[in-house]
Amino acid sequence: MPKAYVFTRYGGPETEALVEVDQPRPGPGEILVAVRAAGVNPVDWKQRNGYRRPGETGSRAFPAVFGQEVSGVVREIGADVAGFAVGDEVFGSTVAGGYAEYALLPVTVAAHRPAELSFPDAATLPVAAATAYDGILQLDLPTGATVLVTGAGGGVGSAALQIARALGLRAVGVASEGKKDLVESLGAVHVPSGADLAARVRAVAPDGVDGAYDLVGGEVLAEAATLLTDRTKLITAGAPAPEVEKLGGARVERARNAAVLDALAQLVVSGRLDPHVTRTFPLDRAGEALRTVEEGHARGKIVIEVAA
């Protein structure tokens, strides 16, 4: 039987286990993929702790497989699927977990993997990079405008800086001092995180910023708002809707479609987006991979690789 890394109930790392599971079967509009790589994201451990995405309803069935994004090879096609065939190399968002030897993908959020795009890099795009892409496009800033990205040292933030640069924007990234080199390597101006953030941003952007993409929330979001003359150019993926709406901004609107995945793949292939996969782990060490992200030690993206 195939293996998967799961959590058996809500709680901490003690709820996690590598177990044998039944092989999933694709339903209508789904494809079964033999996983080659799975991206690791903060939302994974947050869901283990009981977090529910906005709008998510119903009770979660246990054991629940970790993971939201994978790349791999199509092994089976569900009904009403067009454009995909057994043997295709693909990447996308999962139906119910991706830290596994097999995963289901809805074809609406799956794309073909270009030969120039590695399986590990492809596995980082559907969640973090797509969230970054959606937010930067939602800001709709003109070429040459300045965009502030808070939480710029993480997977979403580092992708947002690069996508902003690819669209001709000046990027200012807020991150810890330890991630200064990373932020600057992505062509952005680094601003250290911490108290009095707005003053430090004004030191490098005296006229303020034209847009802000917040990935932190709380006081960081509130300070970012003070730098804008047009609060509709404040977008967050780090705070709930009521928190940002009272400041005049909005939550990021996720597109969650194959067109975004294709666009991201082309950015990587063209050299304008580096997923920054900094470390990989085999499936039987998925717990270590998740802990690296949960404890905040990750620089760039962590990926689980699954042997063919």
CA–CA dist 84, 23 (Å, integer): 20
pLDDT digit string (tens) for 180-224? 999 999 999 999 999 889 999 999 999 889 999 999 999 999 999
| Average pLDDT estimate for 127-140 | 96
pLDDT in the model for residue 56: 65
pLDDT in the model for residue 249: 97
Residue 114 phi, psi (nearest 5)? -60, 145
Please name which of 49, 103, 96 lies closest in space to residue 71, comparing C-alpha atoms.
103
- Does the structure show a pLDDT above 80 at 23? yes
- Does the structure show a pLDDT above 80 at 134? yes
pLDDT digit string (tens) for 246-305? 999 999 999 999 999 999 999 999 999 999 898 999 999 999 999 999 987 667 789 999
pTM score above 0.85: yes
pLDDT in the model for residue 276: 86
Following DSSP, what letter does each residue of the chain receive, concatenated? --EEEEESSSSSGGGEEEEE-PPP---TTEEEEEEEEEEE-HHHHHHHTT---TT--SPPPSSEE--SEEEEEEEEE-TT--S--TT-EEEEE-SS--SBSEEEEEGGGEEEPPTTS-HHHHHTIIIIIHHHHHHHHHH-PPTT-EEEEESTTSHHHHHHHHHHHHTT-EEEEEE-GGGHHHHHHTT-EEEE-SSSHHHHHHHH-TT--SEEEESS-HHHHHHHHHT-S-GGGEEESSS-HHHHHTTT-EE-----SHHHHHHHHHHHHTTS----EEEEEEGGGHHHHHHHHHTT--SSEEEEE---
In angstroms and rounded to an integer, the radius of gyration of the C-alpha atoms of the chain is 19
Contact, 41 vs 301, CB < 8 A? no
pLDDT in the model for residue 208: 84
Q: Which residue do the tokens 């490098």 mark?
A: 204
